[in-house]
Amino acid sequence: MQNRIWKGMAMLTALLLLLASGCGKAEEESGNTPTIGYAYEGVTIVDDPESAEETLRKMQEEADKSSISLSFKNQAFSTDGINFDCYLANPTENPYDMYIQIFADQAMTDEVFLSGLLRPGTAFETIALNHELNAGTHTGVCIFTLVDTAEDGTQTMMKQSSVEIQLFVADV
């Protein structure tokens, strides 16, 4: 019990130090020197260690909701320019289904792959492109998009993240 109280007191101290240090929106003083102002929105006054723990737990839950977990290898290999060995997954940590889109160019004008939805915990180990790529290395963009599907079938894009991908086609 005493260990829990000390842990709560440490969290309370950390929160108070953050507030005292001016955790908040940046403001400018005269001379254009940026400073950090006080946070007013979303701030909770903490009366006891249990309240501090609950506040931190809620903050962690909100942070978890706003992130997207990725699991992939950023290199894919092919001998024919169509069929690629790869690893593109929707990790179990994600609360939503995911689809994956790949462009063979940095400008994202040449879409070469668009998947169906992947449930959390599933992955592609091979993919077939929409059209053949020439032999060589293609630096493209892979976009991971999380989608929530409502009971009525309506789908809503929840989160999205993009990474660079290398598509290697062997010169056979």
Helix H or strand E encompassing 103: strand 97-103
pLDDT of residue 112: 97
* Domains (range + CATH), the chain: 2-65 (no CATH), 71-169 (2.60.40)
Helices (H) and strands (E) counted in the chain, each on its own, are 2, 10
Query: 53-105, pLDDT tens digit by residue?
Result: 776 777 666 656 667 888 899 999 999 999 999 999 999 999 999 999 999 99
């010169």: which residue's tokens?
Answer: 171
Higher pLDDT, 126 or 4: 126
Q: Predicted confidence band at 142 (pLDDT cuts at 50, 70, 90)?
A: very high
Contact present, 86 and 136 (Cβ < 8 Å):
no
If you average pLDDT over residues 142-151, what whole number do you get? 93
Helix H or strand E encompassing 9: helix 2-20
Whole-prediction pTM value? 0.63
